[in-house]
Amino acid sequence: MMNRRNFLRLAVGSGAAAVSWRLWAAPTGGSNSRFVLVFLRGAYDSLSALVPYSEPFYYEARPGIAIARPDPASLDAAIALDGRWAMHPAMDDALLPFWDAGQLAFVPFSGTGFVSRSHFQAQDWVEFGQAPGERPDTRSGFLNRLLLELGGSSSRQSGVSFTQSLPPVMRGKVQVANSPVRLSTKRQVGVGYENLLLAMYDKHALEGLVREGLGLRREISKELQEEMQTASRGALPAGGFALEAERIGRLMHDHPQYSVGFVDIGGWDTHVGQGAARGPLANRLQGLSAGLKAMAEALGPEWQKTTVVVMSEFGRTFRENGSRGTDHGHGSTMWIMGGGLKGGKIIGEQSGLAQKDLHQDRDVPVLNEYREVLGGIFARQYGLDKSALASVFPGAAPRDFGLL
Amino acid sequence: MKDLRFPPNAEALPAYRASSAEYRKTKDPEKRLEARRALFRARRQVVAAFSQATLRRALNERDDIDEPLVWFWFNHFNVFWLKDLVGAALPDYVDGVIRPRMTGRFRDLLLGVMTHPAMLVYLDNSRNVAGRINENYARELLELHTLGVNGGYTQADVQEVARVLTGFGLRPLQPVRWTEKQAAQMREQGEFLFDPRRHDFGDKRVLGRTIAGAGYAELETLADMLSRQPATARHLCGKLCLFLVGEDAPRDMVEQAAKVYMDTDGDLAKVVADIRRQAGRLAVRPRTFKDPYRWVITSVSLLAASRPVDNTQPVERWLVALGEPLFGRSTPDGYSLRGSDWVGAGQLTQRFELARELVATAPRLLDGPLEVDRVLASGPARALQASLGPASRAALDKAEAGEDKLALLISSPEFMYW
């Protein structure tokens, strides 16, 4: 398994032995740390994922969509994590083992230092990651600044975005390759044609990028072929995000130089009929959880060095709306997962969640700024010093939660 | 509310606002939500239809050298359709302000933008009220639209400009009963309203000069003042040179164009003509990496070989795939004009894949089969082939299928630059 997709196989097996896949050379051990950001676009309802079951007001405010208090006898009840918080039952199968192993933590009351209820604006600002009062520099996202601090384009550590186009969070001075992990087969380029392309760029200034880009595509399509072979032996691959996440896990496993990864998932804007223990939101949470598990498993031994953070641009209203859904809110919950985590706990500042505690009488307040949470993780994981962290997240004071 | 539809032209905004006044009266939450969704869909449909129309012009009016400037000036004064009613205001913003004014004086273009609902809503000026200042538009007006980031203004200037801009917003959905004095002070045009009740009538100090409290006329004074600043001339000419000449346009070209701008009181046709004249005299024009829009448009043009392009829907999709959808930039800074900002492994790979899709889809775009030999024999394709280096030449000769030749041609390193 370990050598299944190593350099030699890649070059020889693809019939392009003469081509030097410079950036795809045999793994050198790469970085010791990997980070993957899973961005939930559309603002997921964090109060359904991490349930404040000890708060009576939660059940008053959400008569139609609250997740029932923990009850071992009920399949639809939340799964207690501590005396205050519980997890959505749809996340249970995939994620409870991680929680029990200390490889999962949640940060409720987290979010941005600014208030925007516009999805696109909040997503942009989160991804740029600058100080709340500042006008963001749209040329630079925080993961790209992290890569710059890790050594920039010349470094062995590189970033990869599993998206159709390069998202704001990965924009910046460091070159980052991007490709969706769901490739349309009709667009794929055959080997003969690909060699003509490579020949055209031979010794051209863009040659390195062309090789890198085609190499990533080829890797992904190879994963797809192997999946199809597996499937034909009877094991159907998981659908949706689980499938994508597994591919991401395998790609990162096979390519230790990918130290920073990004993927986004849409479809969280649940204004209408979001459901409770079952329903559309439950299905999405289940898919996400299964995906995280699949990614961790595919990473194999690399999982020990990996941290995955799941977050959204903002939270949703504490109260359900007139359509059994929720509207745009403020505070949310971040998920932190990793093989080397000392988790299994709820971290960060917390406050009550009675009516009087709400932000603008409608939202969960933000007590843990996401940049401080992420900054703390980067500090530990990559050993970044203060000034490096200040370049990644200007004006933020990274918080150490003792997770790593 | 199910079948809301607005025409993709100046009628869209008033029709949209009339419908949204209707929806606000709905009490039932389910129906309200349904109405909101219907409005959203209608807005999106306006934008989609208008994008198609705009792309069709860009692809078919290839002889009109000013057509690309529509893209440039929209990008300079970028707004994003997803914000509130901006989508419904988009057709009028582009065809009613940008297009007719982009070859006149900059001041008139600027004034048109400053009083257009699209910009006033996009940058929150419709919420900028005396005593409750919202600086968002004031800052971008100075930093992005006129003086430029190092244009020599201060935070105090931003605040004072914000005061000038108080009261410039949208007509309320309900009719207003004006006093006689207010009726004399207010200005209304379409959905735009200067509301004297929301304006700060005190004197302001901007860039060391006093703008006396005078209501609507302050906006004209401000537009005059900002458009006549040398910093504005340099900022605009720098961007125009980037767009028309490329990344490494000589510095004195910008200075020379800025001088024309100042001498002609911001006559944009003369400025653009001067830049084109200067560019024509360059012995060597440095090559610049094409941004996705330029690459897609030139690719489709090459394949069309002067046949009309009827169907532009796939073109839209390609722009999305490459990260530069038309009217799709969410932030006020617009897309980068620097070619080097677009260079990337993912970008190149996607272009290679799209090149094949473009060739395969061309018959649908052109409403008829693609005649490979005719395309290869067309003027632009011949010029491109003549410019190919030996590596590209050799690869092209090895390609067997005619379609592959075309796809390789638009994938060639030579074609990635302009």
Report the distance separating Cα A354 and Cα A357, nearest Å.
Answer: 5
Q: What is the pLDDT of residues B283-342, one digit of tens each?
A: 888 899 999 999 999 999 999 999 999 999 999 999 998 999 999 998 899 999 999 889
Residues A58-77: what's their mean pLDDT? 96
Q: What per-residue string of b and e applies to B106-137 under the rule 16 or more CB within 10 Å gives b?
A: bbbbbbbbbbbbbbbbbbebbebbbeebbbbb
Q: What is the pLDDT of residues B279-295, one digit of tens each?
A: 999 988 889 999 999 99
Our CA-based measurement puts residue A83 at a distance from the nearest CA of chain B, in whole angstroms, of 36
Our CA-based measurement puts residue A247 at a distance from the nearest CA of chain B, in whole angstroms, of 18
Report the distance separating Cα B245 and Cα B254, nearest Å.
Answer: 10
The predicted pLDDT at position A9 comes to 30
The whole-angstrom distance between residue B243's C-alpha and the CA centroid of its chain comes to 13
Task: Report yes or no: A68 and A78 within 8 Å, Cβ to Cβ.
Answer: yes
In this complex, the residue of A161, A200, A271 whose CB is nearest that of residue B413 is A200
Of the candidate ranges A5-14, A244-253, B248-257, B261-270, the one whose mean pLDDT is the lowest:
A5-14
- In A, minimum Cα distance to B391 occurs at A200
Q: Where are the alpha helices (DSSP H) in A24-68?
A: 46-49, 56-61
Q: What is the pLDDT of residues A307-341, one digit of tens each?
A: 999 999 999 999 998 878 998 999 999 999 999 99
Residues A376-380: what's their mean pLDDT? 94
Q: Which of the residues A197, A274, A313 would you substitute to probe the B interface, choosing the one with the greatest number of B C-beta atoms within 10 Å? A: A197
Mean pLDDT across chain A: 86
Task: Report yes or no: A12 and A191 within 8 Å, Cβ to Cβ.
Answer: no
Q: A83: buried, middle or exposed (CB in 10 Å: 19+, 13-18, 0-12)?
A: exposed
Q: Is B186 on the interface with A (CB under 8 A)?
A: no
Task: Report yes or no: B233 and B261 within 8 Å, Cβ to Cβ.
Answer: yes
Residues B223-227: what's their mean pLDDT? 98
User: Which structure tokens are listed for B294?
Assistant: 């330029």
| Owner of token pair 């003969």 | A192
Report the distance separating Cα A57 and Cα A46, nearest Å.
Answer: 16
Indicate whether B210 pLDDT > 70: yes
Q: pLDDT-derived band of residue A65, with 50, 70 and 90 as boundaries?
A: very high
How far from each other are the two terminal CA atoms of chain B, in whole angstroms? 48
Q: Which one is predicted more confidently, A69 or B155?
A: A69
The predicted pLDDT at position A184 comes to 63
Contact state of B344 with A214 under an 8 Å Cβ cutoff: no
In this complex, the residue of A196, A213, A271 whose CB is nearest that of residue B345 is A213
The single-letter DSSP state of residue B84 is T
Task: Report yes or no: A252 and A30 within 8 Å, Cβ to Cβ.
Answer: no
The whole-model pTM stands at 0.84
User: Which structure tokens are listed for B247?
Assistant: 């990344």
Of the candidate ranges A101-115, A209-223, B269-283, the one whose mean pLDDT is the lowest:
A209-223
Our CA-based measurement puts residue A205 at a distance from the nearest CA of chain B, in whole angstroms, of 9
Q: Is B339 strand, coil or helix? A: helix
From chain A, the residues in CB contact with B353 under 8 A are 187-189, 217
CB-CB neighbours of A65 under 10 Å: 23
The whole-angstrom distance between residue A241's C-alpha and the CA centroid of its chain comes to 11
Contact state of B391 with A199 under an 8 Å Cβ cutoff: yes
Indicate whether A4 pLDDT > 50: no
The predicted pLDDT at position A217 comes to 84
| Helix-helix angle B230-244:B251-263, to 10 degrees | 130
Indicate whether A117 pLDDT > 90: no
Q: pLDDT-derived band of residue A14, with 50, 70 and 90 as boundaries?
A: very low
Q: pLDDT-derived band of residue A30, with 50, 70 and 90 as boundaries?
A: very low
Q: What per-residue string of b and e applies to A187-204 under the rule 16 or more CB within 10 Å gives b?
A: ebbeeebbbbbbbbbbeb
From chain B, the residues in CB contact with A177 under 8 A are 344-346
Residues B191-216: what's their mean pLDDT? 98
Q: What is the pLDDT of residues A259-276, one digit of tens each?
A: 999 999 988 988 888 999
- In B, minimum Cα distance to A117 occurs at B83
Report the distance separating Cα B98 and Cα B71, nearest Å.
Answer: 9
Select from B302, B318, B311 the least CA-distant residue to B374.
Answer: B302
Contact state of B349 with A118 under an 8 Å Cβ cutoff: no
Our CA-based measurement puts residue A262 at a distance from the nearest CA of chain B, in whole angstroms, of 14
The full length of chain A comes to 404
- State the count of interchain CB pairs (< 8 A) between A and B: 118
Contact state of A120 with B404 under an 8 Å Cβ cutoff: no
What percent of chain B is modeled with pLDDT above 90?
86
The predicted pLDDT at position B22 comes to 86
Q: What is the CA radius of gyration of chain A?
A: 22
Report the distance separating Cα B22 and Cα B39, nearest Å.
Answer: 11
Task: Report yes or no: A302 and A309 within 8 Å, Cβ to Cβ.
Answer: no
Instruction: Look up residue B72 and give its amino acid.
Output: F
Indicate whether B29 pLDDT > 90: no
Q: Which of the residues B317, B348, B400 would you substitute to probe the A interface, choosing the one with the greatest number of A C-beta atoms within 10 Å? A: B348
Q: What is the pLDDT of residues B61-93, one digit of tens each?
A: 888 989 999 999 999 999 999 999 999 999 999
The full length of chain B comes to 418
From chain B, the residues in CB contact with A206 under 8 A are 343, 348, 413, 416
Q: Is B382 on the interface with A (CB under 8 A)?
A: no
Residues B199-227: what's their mean pLDDT? 98
Q: Which of the residues B343, B352, B358, B385 would you substitute to probe the A interface, choosing the one with the greatest number of A C-beta atoms within 10 Å? A: B352
Q: pLDDT-derived band of residue A222, with 50, 70 and 90 as boundaries?
A: confident
Indicate whether A280 pLDDT > 60: yes
Of the candidate ranges A104-113, A239-248, A304-313, B288-297, the one whose mean pLDDT is the lowest:
A239-248
B38: Cβ contacts below 8 Å, ≥ 6 apart: B1, B2, B3, B4
B205: Cβ contacts below 8 Å, ≥ 6 apart: B156, B160, B211
Report the distance separating Cα B248 and Cα B390, nearest Å.
Answer: 26
Indicate whether A200 pLDDT > 70: yes
Task: Report yes or no: B137 and B156 within 8 Å, Cβ to Cβ.
Answer: no
ipTM of the complex: 0.89
The predicted pLDDT at position B404 comes to 94
User: Which structure tokens are listed for B202?
Assistant: 């005190």
Mean pLDDT across chain B: 94
DSSP string covering B396-408? HHH--SHHHHHHH
In this complex, the residue of A121, A139, A189 whose CB is nearest that of residue B353 is A189
How far from each other are the two terminal CA atoms of chain A, in whole angstroms? 28
B207: Cβ contacts below 8 Å, ≥ 6 apart: B152, B153, B157, B225, B229
B214: Cβ contacts below 8 Å, ≥ 6 apart: B201, B221
Contact state of A178 with B398 under an 8 Å Cβ cutoff: no
The predicted pLDDT at position B393 comes to 96
| Owner of token pair 């060639």 | B412
User: Which structure tokens are listed for B4?
Assistant: 């809301």
Task: Report yes or no: B332 and B118 within 8 Å, Cβ to Cβ.
Answer: no
Q: Which of the residues A196, A218, A270 would you substitute to probe the B interface, choosing the one with the greatest number of B C-beta atoms within 10 Å? A: A196
Q: What angle do CA A284, A287, A291 make, to 5 degrees?
A: 140
